[in-house]
Amino acid sequence: MGRVLQPFAYFEPSSLTEAIALVGAPDTRILAGGSDLILRMRRGEARPSRVVSLAKVTGLDWLAVSSAGDLEIGALATLSRVRQLVAASHQWGAFQDALDQLTPPQVHNTGTVVGNICAAVPYYDLPTALFALGAKPRIVGAEGERLLPLADFYVAAGTTALRRDELVASIIVPPSPVNAGSAFAKILKAARRASDVHKVNAAARLVIDAENGSIGEAAIVIGSCGLRPWRAPDAEALLIGAIAGEGVFEAAAVAAADAVQPLTDVPWVEAARRGFVRALVGDILNLAAQRARQHDGSAA
C-alpha cells in the first residue's frame, strides 16, 4: 500500500523559460506524466521539496516525423500517442517492440517516453530499445540547447548527465534506412530472493547489404545487467562485414553473454543472467535481420 505523499511546493510554469528557471532550485523534481515520480514519492523513495509540472508548458506535446525522417517525441507526448505513430510508420521496430510489451496497459495513457528515459531505471525497456536506435535527448537549459547520445546521458542508476538547470524537452530518433532492421525482447521470471534475476532485456539494430547479405552496421544493447544500458562492442565487431546468418548471430550472442559483468556474488544467478542474454541476443539478431531483408522497410 502506498504511503501518503509528503508536503512539497508545486509549480505549474506556462513556458519553457519559466520551467528552466524553476528546475534550477535545489531538491526539485520534474513532473511530466508522473507514472514514475508519483510512485516513487508514495514509496518514500523520492521526497522532493519542490515539484515542477510541465503540464501547462506549450509545445512539449510535440510528436512528429520531420521531412528528414527523424522522429521527435516531446516531453508531454504520451506513450499511447507514440505507440500509434510508431506502429503506423512501420519503422523503428525495436522501439515498437518495447512499446508493445510495456506494462501495465494503463501506463500508456499517462506515462511519457521522455519521463521513462529520464527516470534512468536500469531495467526499463524503452532506454534499451532507443539506445540501439541511436536516439538522442534534446536537452534545454539556462546555457542553451544540446543533443546528447544515450550512451553519455546515463551516469548510473537513477542518475543522468542533466545539469541542475536543465530538462529534456524531447527525444529524437534518427530515421531507419530501408535496409536496416531492429528488434527488442525481454525475459521476465519470478524472483525467489532479493539477489535473483527477474528481468533482462536487449535490443539490436542491423544494416544489411541487399546485394550480398553482409552486415554494414550493428548495434547490440543490453539492459537490466548493469547500472545503465550498455553496448556489446566485441559482439558487434563479430557482425560487421560478416554475412548475416545463424552462425554469426550465435557467435555474437555468446560474445554478448561473455561481456556481462557480475552484479552479485551468487554464481548460479550470474550464470542465469548470461544465459538469458545469450538467448535474447540470438533471437533479436535473427528478427532484426528478417526485418532488414524486407526491403520496403516495414517493421524496421
145-179 residue pLDDT tens: 999 999 999 998 889 999 989 999 999 999 998 89
pLDDT of residue 139: 97
Kindly report, residue by residue over 110-156, the tens digit of the pLDDT.
899 999 999 998 889 999 999 999 999 999 999 999 999 999 999 98
pLDDT of residue 158: 87
pLDDT of residue 236: 98
pLDDT of residue 300: 58
Domains and CATH numbers, the chain: 9-53 (3.30.43), 63-173 (3.30.465.10), 180-292 (3.30.390.50)
Percentage of residues in the chain having pLDDT higher than 90: 72
Label residue 11 exposed, middle or buried (CB < 10 Å: 0-12, 13-18, 19+). middle
Kindly report, residue by residue over 177-186, the tens digit of the pLDDT.
889 999 999 9
Please enumerate in sequence order all residues whose Cβ is within 8 A of that of 104, keeping only pairs 6 or more positions apart, or say none: none
pLDDT of residue 2: 55
DSSP structural state of residue 214? B
3-class SS at 27?
Answer: coil
pLDDT of residue 266: 84
Phi, psi of 285 (to 5 degrees): -65, -40
Q: For residue 30, give the nearest of 15, 10, 44, 14 by alpha carbon.
A: 10
Kindly report, residue by residue over 231-240, the tens digit of the pLDDT.
999 999 999 9
Label residue 153 exposed, middle or buried (CB < 10 Å: 0-12, 13-18, 19+). buried
pLDDT of residue 298: 45
Confidence band for 295, pLDDT divided at 50, 70 and 90: low
Percentage of residues in the chain having pLDDT higher than 70: 94
Phi, psi of 70 (to 5 degrees): -75, 140
What integer best gives the mean pLDDT of the chain? 91
Confidence band for 195, pLDDT divided at 50, 70 and 90: low
The pTM score is 0.91
Q: How far is CA 242 from CA 172, 227, 247, in A?
A: 30, 31, 10
In sequence order, the β-bridge partners of residue 184 are 203
DSSP structural state of residue 78? B
Q: Give the whole-angstrom CA distance, residue 222 versus residue 232.
A: 7
pLDDT of residue 296: 43
Kindly report, residue by residue over 51-106, the tens digit of the pLDDT.
999 999 999 999 999 999 999 999 999 999 999 999 998 899 999 999 999 888 77
Label residue 188 exposed, middle or buried (CB < 10 Å: 0-12, 13-18, 19+). middle
pLDDT of residue 169: 96
pLDDT of residue 105: 79
Confidence band for 6, pLDDT divided at 50, 70 and 90: confident
